């Protein structure tokens, strides 16, 4: 396939960026999207040009590092597979002669570092604010010694699949990180070990979310529609219920 790539190039955060066009020939339909970007960088390097900077690590849809906006949609929106990360998107979803626009996440909380690389450390600061269990839970218990209702266990597992890629933030018109934050809150809120710090946790994580420049949530739903792990909007409802409960208990405790 012949592919025309329009890629966002920006040397550093303080500099002005712009889209630049590149022509790629002999792109295999079996390549992943990142392998296609590798092909572009090999071409640029052979021509003595600066390669395109982009994030990646596992290339297995696990780590969430690879996120970019493809033709206006975080990770791209293509039929196969329906929910995917950029690294798991393959060139068979495109056609000979296609023009593909590739941009970084666009959000105030995710400043651009270079080209397609953004700083997502704001997510780390939300986790640092309360996305963990600090109380002593003792040694590993025997299996099933602390029963958890199946519905709550399923909700916890569903929320725990969030990989923190940031697609939800990039898709939200307000640049909100509420789907990510709610996934982390919902995960622990549905486990017995998460109960002692439940109310304190939700208040601290919401405060960190707002302090790090994320926008407000208006339940538009774009976040869930692009999430590669299909975190449901119901997790935001869980967060809102926990926050309301916490605000009615000034000491932040569960009692």
Residue 114 maps to a domain: no
Q: Tokens standing for 149?
A: 């209702």
Quick one: pLDDT band at residue 157, thresholds 50, 70, 90? very high
Please tell me the predicted confidence (pLDDT) of residue 252: 45
CA neighbours closer than 13 Å in the CB half-sphere of residue 53:
13
pLDDT tens readout for residues 95-106: 999 999 999 999
Among 4-8, 124-128, 137-141, 158-162, the least confident range: 137-141
pLDDT at residue number 255: 41
Same domain, 55 and 162: no
| Whether residue 165 sits in one domain with residue 239 | yes
pLDDT of residue 250: 59
In a domain, 253, yes or no: no
pTM, 2 dp: 0.92
Q: State how far the alpha carbon of 215 is from the alpha carbons of 45, 169, 209, in Å.
A: 39, 9, 9
**Pair (125, 218) in one structural domain:** yes
List CB contacts of 235: < 8 A, sequence separation 6 or more: 155, 158, 159, 179, 182, 183, 185, 186
Residues 137, 237, single domain; the answer is yes
Q: Does residue 254 lie in a domain region?
A: no
Give how many domains the chain has, as a whole number: 2
Over the stretch 18-59, which tens digit does the pLDDT of each residue have? Answer: 999 999 999 999 999 999 999 999 999 999 999 999 999 999
Mean pLDDT of the region 224-241: 94
pLDDT band at 143 (very low <50, low <70, confident <90, very high): low
Residue 237's SS3 state is: helix
- Residue 139 inside a domain? The answer is yes
Cβ neighbour number for residue 210 with a 10 Å cutoff: 14
- Does the structure show a pLDDT above 50 at 114? yes
Q: What is the CATH number of the domain that holds 34?
A: 3.10.20.30
Whether 138 shows a pLDDT value over 80: the answer reads no
Examine the domain organization and report whether 166 and 225 are in the same domain: yes
Residue-number span of the structural domain to which 30 is assigned: 3-103
Give the model confidence (pLDDT) of 178-191 as tens digits.
999 999 999 999 99
Residues 92 and 178 in one domain: no
């Amino acid at each position: 396939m012949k592919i025309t790539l329009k890629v966002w190039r920006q040397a550093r955060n303080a500099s002005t960026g712009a889209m630049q066009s590149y022509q790629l020939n002999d792109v295999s339909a079996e390549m992943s999207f990142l392998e296609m970007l590798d092909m572009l960088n090999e071409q640029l390097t052979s021509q003595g040009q600066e390669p395109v900077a982009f994030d990646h690590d596992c290339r297995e849809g696990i780590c969430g590092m690879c996120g970019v906006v493809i033709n206006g949609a975080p990770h791209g929106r293509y039929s196969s597979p329906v929910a995917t990360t950029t690294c798991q998107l393959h060139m068979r979803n495109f056609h000979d002669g296609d023009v593909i626009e590739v941009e970084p996440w666009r959000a105030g909380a995710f400043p651009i570092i270079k080209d397609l690389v953004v700083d997502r450390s704001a997510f780390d600061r939300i986790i640092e604010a309360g996305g963990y269990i600090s109380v002593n839970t003792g040694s590993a218990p025997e299996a099933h010694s602390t029963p958890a209702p199946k519905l709550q266990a399923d909700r916890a597992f569903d929320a725990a699949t969030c990989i923190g890629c940031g697609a939800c933030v990039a898709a939200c018109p307000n640049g909100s990180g509420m789907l990510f934050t709610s996934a982390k809150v919902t995960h622990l809120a549905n486990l017995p070990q998460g109960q002692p710090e439940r109310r304190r946790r939700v208040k601290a994580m919401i405060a960190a979310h707002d302090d790090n420049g994320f926008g407000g949530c208006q339940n538009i739903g774009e976040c869930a529609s692009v999430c590669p792990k299909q975190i449901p909007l119901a997790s935001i409802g869980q967060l809102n219920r926990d926050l309301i409960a916490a605000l009615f208990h000034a000491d932040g405790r569960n009692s």
